[in-house]
Amino acid sequence: MNSEESEIEVPHVKAADRDNGNFFIQLINGDFGLAKTYWLFGVVVGLVVNLLSRSVPSLGVLILLTLAYTAYEIVMLIGTWRAANRYRGPGVWILLAKVAVVFGAVLLAAGVLMTISLLGRV
């Protein structure tokens, strides 16, 4: 792959944003690549947050953790979709990544609604 093929311009990605080192801008733009975005920032971070949420000391901390993770998850899902759009490997990985993003968004929305419902009972 030559340098022209590896540097794909996407309209929503400004060169200044790509180079400024802001993690969340790079993540939402899909700048880390599909595999790293999905596996490291999606799966591994999700597992760590899940483990942490099982040992929180209070409902207030759990709510803060949930809010922070929800915001992060939205950024990660958008970044995974955009990384899939930029991916130049086998098409099956693009399809699987986008299916995972859709399922992830549905599960995230269901989790938020369930949390809101549970908080209404407290």
pLDDT higher at 4 or 11: 11
One-letter amino acid for residue 99 of the chain? V
Phi, psi of 85 (to 5 degrees): -65, -30
Output the average pLDDT for the chain: 86
**Helix H or strand E encompassing 107:** helix 91-121
* CB contact burial 54-74 (16+ within 10 A = b; e otherwise): eeeeeeeeeeeebeebeebbe
pLDDT, tens digit, for every residue of 88-121?
999 999 999 999 999 999 999 998 898 888 788 7
Quote the CA–CA distance of 99 and 90 in Å, as a whole number.
Answer: 15
0.95 exceeded by the pTM? no
pLDDT, tens digit, for every residue of 6-28?
444 445 555 545 556 799 999 99
pLDDT, tens digit, for every residue of 16-69?
455 567 999 999 999 999 999 999 999 999 999 999 888 988 888 888 888 999
Over its C-alpha atoms, the chain yields an Rg (Å, rounded) of 17
Residue boundaries of the structural domains of the chain: 28-121
